[in-house]
């Protein structure tokens, strides 16, 4: 693998070459982390930049959901930089280099698509490919000495996403409600228990019971083939749109939400809801 950063003259030429692609970005990161580089970048560790990595991934998803295609290029670049940053730290610590990251994911993609890159060229449907993918991942976990069903589900995932992944793993070995109706019955039971017992429970117990309710809601999402994170993001966006319309209408009357009351704002909410439906139908 090439030594980075390069000698200064060669490095300057590469850094300022807008057509140089990945070698340019890798050199930029190596320069930022060099002894005479950027003080902030030099101070960073895997742990300190991990939150930025997560934030950049969320911003990619946000741009896609808003169909902000003019922003997506930049957001993908920000996320790519996070991979390069982690790889640079790893190389400095003698763990691996960016080239090893590329080789690892390339090998994984080839291994997980034998019907494309191997001798087995029988075409698979999307559903068949998903099942085959899961079998291959299970074999990989076994090879990595992860014998337990729930091993390898990342703790840092968003909680609802992790709940669905945990439930999918358990369902593979038969630990699952057989029908959606039973999940709904459990939601009703958990909600009733929480409401009835909330005054007699400690704060920690209320939090635990509420967590149980959310966990079952995630299970319902799985049974309905709904991404709960995407569904909640959409609900958040809808709430934001409608509440902002309430603010707009109140502002036209020279008032703010704080100068209104629930009955008026509820009526305006229904107006915003009807407005959206009319726009969708039109």
pLDDT tens for 123-180 read: 777 777 777 777 777 676 666 666 788 888 888 888 999 999 999 989 988 999 999 9
If asked whether residues 222 and 234 sit together in one domain, one would say no
What CA dihedral angle connects 198, 200, 203 and 205, to 10 degrees? -80
pLDDT digits (tens, 9 = 90+) for 72-117: 999 999 999 999 999 999 999 999 999 999 999 999 889 888 878 8
139 lies in some domain: no
Domain that holds residue 201: 148-226
Q: Which residue has the tokens 């109706």?
A: 181
Conformation bin of residue 148: beta by default, left when phi > 0, alpha when psi is -120 to 50: beta
Residues 6+ apart with CB under 8 A from 163: 214, 215, 218, 219, 228
Confidence (pLDDT) at 31: 97
- What's the chain's Rg over C-alpha atoms? 25
pTM for the model stands at 0.66
94 lies in some domain: yes
Q: In a 3-state reduction of DSSP, which class is residue 88? A: helix
pLDDT higher than threshold 60 for residue 1: no
20 lies in some domain: yes
If asked whether residues 245 and 216 sit together in one domain, one would say no
Burial of 10 (0-12, 13-18, 19+ CB in 10 A): exposed
Question: What's the mean pLDDT when you consider all of the chain?
Answer: 90
> Domain of 215: which CATH number?
1.10.287.1080
If asked whether residues 238 and 170 sit together in one domain, one would say no
Count: domains in the chain: 3
- Between CA 50 and CA 52 the distance in angstroms is 5
If asked whether residues 97 and 190 sit together in one domain, one would say no
Does residue 184 contact residue 223 with C-beta atoms inside 8 Å? no
If asked whether residues 235 and 193 sit together in one domain, one would say no
Going 29 to 34 to 36 to 40, the CA torsion angle's sign is: positive
Q: Which two tokens stand for residue 71?
A: 């922003």
Confidence (pLDDT) at 155: 87
Confidence (pLDDT) at 101: 97
């Amino acid at each position: 693998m090439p030594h980075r950063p390069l000698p200064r003259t060669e490095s300057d030429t590469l850094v300022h070459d807008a057509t140089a692609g990945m070698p340019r970005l890798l050199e930029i990161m190596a320069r930022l982390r060099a002894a005479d580089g950027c003080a902030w970048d030099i101070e960073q560790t895997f742990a300190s930049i991990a939150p930025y990595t997560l934030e950049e991934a969320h911003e990619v998803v946000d741009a896609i959901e808003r169909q902000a295609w003019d922003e997506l290029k930049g957001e993908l670049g920000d996320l790519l930089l996070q991979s390069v940053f982690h790889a640079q730290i790893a190389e400095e610590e003698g763990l691996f280099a960016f080239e090893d990251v590329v080789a690892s994911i390339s090998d994984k993609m080839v291994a997980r698509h034998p019907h494309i890159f191997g001798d087995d060229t029988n075409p698979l449907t999307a559903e068949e490919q998903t099942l085959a993918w899961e079998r291959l991942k299970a074999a990989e976990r076994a090879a990595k000495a992860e014998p337990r069903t729930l091993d390898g589900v990342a703790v840092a995932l968003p909680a609802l996403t992790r709940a669905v992944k945990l439930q999918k793993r358990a369902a593979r070995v038969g630990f699952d409600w057989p029908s959606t109706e039973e999940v709904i019955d459990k939601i009703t039971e958990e909600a009733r228990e929480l409401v009835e017992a909330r005054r007699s429970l400690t704060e920690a117990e209320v939090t635990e019971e509420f967590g149980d309710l959310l966990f079952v809601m995630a299970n319902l999402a799985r049974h309905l083939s709904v991404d709960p994170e995407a569904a909640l993001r959409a609900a958040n966006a809808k709430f934001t749109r409608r509440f902002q319309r309430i603010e707009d209408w109140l502002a036209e009357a020279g008032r703010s939400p704080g100068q209104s009351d629930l009955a008026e704002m509820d009526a305006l909410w229904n107006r915003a809801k009807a407005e959206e439906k009319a726009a969708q139908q039109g």
